[in-house]
Structure 1
Amino acid sequence: MPKAFVLTVLLAFASPLGAAQTTPAPATPVAPATALPAAEQATVNVIERALSSVLYIEASSPSQTQGTFSSPLFADPRSQDDQSSGSGFFVNAQGFALTNYHVVEGATRLSVTLRDSNQTFTARVVGTAPDYDLALIQVQGVPANLIRPLPMGNSTGLRVGQTTIALGAPFGLQFSATTGIVSAIERTIPTGIRGIAQNAIQTDAAINPGNSGGPLLDSSGRVIGVNTTILSPSGAATGVGQSAGVGFAIPINVAANLLPRLQAGQTIVGPILGVSLAPFDLTDLTEQARTQYRLPRAGALISQVTPNSPAAQAGVRGGTTRIQTPVGPVFLGGDVITAINGQAIESAADLREYLFNRQAGERVTLTINRAGQTVTAQVTLAPGTVPGTGR
């Protein structure tokens, strides 16, 4: 069949009434653009302004993968640095920005992208607060007109139901925004490298991996929190936790109180006793195990005592019998802390939370159950270390 005939047939099938119609059908009218409702326009304006203050942070750290070649003469494609990403936001005109500690932890290089620039900038870590999962970085070489600090709000007095806006880079999708409400304000979640329970803002604004360190705003565009973690099941396909409408942010008042010390270059961690605690609660043990090792029903079980630590100097004892548990090896037979300065301690979490609110150099009195006998010990708390396993 000639090509011209094929084309004619196709056109005929595409427009069977073409021969009978001599004028084209009128075009469907397009409705003119209408203005957004006032409340919606206000949200758009807040997000548009705030995104210019948000950082997309890429962190490079030494690869944990062993290279194929041991000789420096050969390049191994698997020996490249590990890459991770997160978010942050400017807090002052000098280019300082807040983010999460876990975004920058172990990084040897930080690269920052801004929404209003095609250039990639480097950044340096200024100060860290590992126990709070906060870090302050400074972006290098940014033009002054691109440094747009976000206004700080007040996380005290938040009300369940008020609007929240979460900004960041979920799954690397830079400069994304989600909205929701404050879902709860009386929440405590394990925070920082030692998982110490702390107050947090709960929101249903979608937060996903990559939102870490980004701002949580109120309806006026003021920062009320720093996005930090989510509570969700693992993703069925990827194994990566997905948003399930339960996200948490560090209250901005906590970050604001730490900001002067972070800007001064400090590493802020809570004080320590110098002990390693059993990674389970005494209530998890059977009655037979508690009887065998003369353990009370509640308290913080000391597995090991760090040599020359405050606890060691005060005569606190660790365990002597090593046993293997589902959560790793533990030494039993040591002291159990049942109170500190008269306040009852029922678990390891209670002890961590109490110490978190104390200062290095402070002297505390431990009430100890030692093989069924009650003894006391005076301990002077020491500065914490990073990363450390001491409590």
Structure 2
Amino acid sequence: MKRPLPLLLLTGALALGSFVGYQANERQNSPAETASVTSSTPVEEESIQGQMVPATNRPAAFNQARARTESEANTVQVVKDRQDGLVYISVTESSSGSEQAQLRQRLQEQFGLPELPGGNGARSGTGSGFFVSAAGDIITNNHVIEGASEITIRLHGNKKTYKAKVIARAPDFDLALIRAEGVPREDIQALPLGDSSRLDVGLKAIAMGAPFGLDFSVSEGIISSLERTVPVGTKQVNQQVIQTDAAINPGNSGGPLLNSAGEVIGVNTQILTGGIGQSAGVGFAIPINTVKKLLPQLQAGKGGVIRTPTLGIQFTDLSALSDEERKAYNLPASGALLQQVYPNSPAARAGLKGGSEAATVSDTGGGSAQIATDGDIITAVDGQAITEGDDLRRAVIGKQIGDRLTLTVRRGSKTREVTVQLQAFDFPQASGQE
């Protein structure tokens, strides 16, 4: 029977030790040698001129400070300093058949929000949040509280629940501000907000929250990418996010992502699951600079919704067409080809026009679609070229109502600059609208 090599080596080493020990014992039978050992050598000595002598069994002293790495000590300190700023959020709908409950169910399926059983047909769920002011303002995700009939919170290390109300929501950024009633001022620990523009890939990232309803769970990783865009909010516009491999699971939504200085650098919002419904090492956080930009509007919201401006157009992304199709209809390689300009919209007031001449092109599903090829083409926004349709959406959603955009517009063979004053505009949601 063959034994594994490491086992043979270990057996050989043990056998060699026994043999050496035996020879040492043989030599120690000599009175002279025995006297030499007992009179001049401490018992702690392990060998004398190659002889094996038992050593005292003294375990080395454990130094906890030296055992911890600098990174571990930093993580422990950050968690201790910031844990009381974390908030656990529970929400309930009064009826599973209500419009709000149906909306929440869709958001749960989209974002993986954990659902808890409720009585009398009610639906419940959990999420996370964190204090951002001494007044008790709490930032969380919009999809955590969207459609809820009742919101309650708990603080870290405390089983007491407090009712909370919505101060304002920013659905297009998946952010919301809530405030709890009756929380003692001394229990409100606002977390410091960092600067997400100063991040680097590879820096430490610490996520805190209540994944799967497990209160106060901490995970650590790094910032994996700062070049990622994913669909965010109700308009599902691709927006810049922070990618991290710190484990983020359902229930972490709305919780803080911290750096090694204990500053909030992001709001945990989504995960890429690969179909398993839990962390696969790819999580996304809304940059904290987005929160800081919106925070004054949220705090002044008085229960309302922060609306983002809209051009009021429907367009086709030219980069999605084939080279042959663009050549056939004399279209540029990229830009937003206007299909429709809605009446009384900001785009209509600026004189933009949609098309009317229909043509057949291939769609992403392998079939065909009808588009108008003679509408205005927006090729740049504020001097920045549009390489894909989301460039236009991001430019608009990043502005505030009342701001102005300068659009570079091609109509036929002529190109001109058009200034549009942005306003809120309501129209039925559909692909390619802005």
**TM value normalised by structure 2:** 0.68
Q: For residue 120 of structure 1, what is the aligned residue in structure 2? A: 161
Q: For residue 52 of structure 1, what is the aligned residue in structure 2? A: 84
1:259 aligns with 2:317: no
Q: Contact 1:131–1:191 (CA<8 Å) still a contact in 2?
A: yes
Q: For residue 107 of structure 1, what is the aligned residue in structure 2? A: 148
Q: Deviations over 1:343-373 (max 9, x none)?
A: 3223211112222344433444433344x44
Q: For residue 274 of structure 1, what is the aligned residue in structure 2? A: 312
Seen in structure 2, the aligned counterparts of structure 1 residues 63 and 312 have a Cα distance that, compared at 3 Å, is farther
Q: For residue 17 of structure 2, what is the aligned residue in structure 1? A: none
How far did 1:386 drift? 7.9
1:179 aligns with 2:225: no
Which one-letter code corresponds to 1:384 in the other structure? A
Seen in structure 2, the aligned counterparts of structure 1 residues 108 and 329 have a Cα distance that, compared at 3 Å, is farther
Structure 1: tracts of 5 or more residues without a match: 1-30, 68-76
Structure 2: tracts of 5 or more residues without a match: 1-59, 100-117
1:338 aligns with 2:374: no
Q: Deviations over 1:246-281 (max 9, x none)?
A: 222222233223222211116444422111234xx3
Seen in structure 2, the aligned counterparts of structure 1 residues 329 and 120 have a Cα distance that, compared at 3 Å, is farther
Which one-letter code corresponds to 1:113 in the other structure? R
Structure 1 Cα separation of the partners of residues 406 and 258 of structure 2 = 42
How far did 1:330 drift? 6.7
How far did 1:54 drift? 1.2
Structure 2 Cα separation of the partners of residues 329 and 62 of structure 1 = 43
Q: Contact 2:194–2:264 (CA<8 Å) still a contact in 1?
A: yes
Q: Contact 1:304–1:331 (CA<8 Å) still a contact in 2?
A: no
SS at match of 1:226: strand
Structure 2 Cα separation of the partners of residues 84 and 301 of structure 1 = 42
Q: For residue 384 of structure 1, what is the aligned residue in structure 2? A: 424
Q: Deviations over 1:177-206 (max 9, x none)?
A: 101122233444443333344433322111
How far did 1:42 drift? 4.5
**TM value normalised by structure 1:** 0.75
Q: Contact 2:319–2:387 (CA<8 Å) still a contact in 1?
A: no
SS at match of 1:52: helix
Percentage of pairs with the same residue? 46
Q: 2:202 aligns with which of 150, 161, 165?
A: 161
Structure 1 Cα separation of the partners of residues 158 and 287 of structure 2 = 29
Q: Deviations over 1:125-174 (max 9, x none)?
A: 11223333222111112223332222233334233333221001222222
Q: Contact 1:54–1:214 (CA<8 Å) still a contact in 2?
A: yes
**CA-based RMSD:** 3.5
Q: 2:177 aligns with which of 104, 129, 136?
A: 136
Structure 1 Cα separation of the partners of residues 233 and 184 of structure 2 = 33
How many residues are aligned here? 345
Q: Which has the larger radius of gyration?
A: 2
1:43 aligns with 2:75: yes
Give the number of the structure whose residues are more often helix, by fraction. 2
Q: Within 5 Å, give how 1:248-327 maps onto structure 2.
A: 248-265=284-301, 267-278=305-316, 281-287=317-323, 289-290=325-326, 294-320=330-356, 321=358
Q: For residue 21 of structure 1, what is the aligned residue in structure 2? A: none
Structure 2 Cα separation of the partners of residues 207 and 356 of structure 1 = 26
How far did 1:228 drift? 1.8
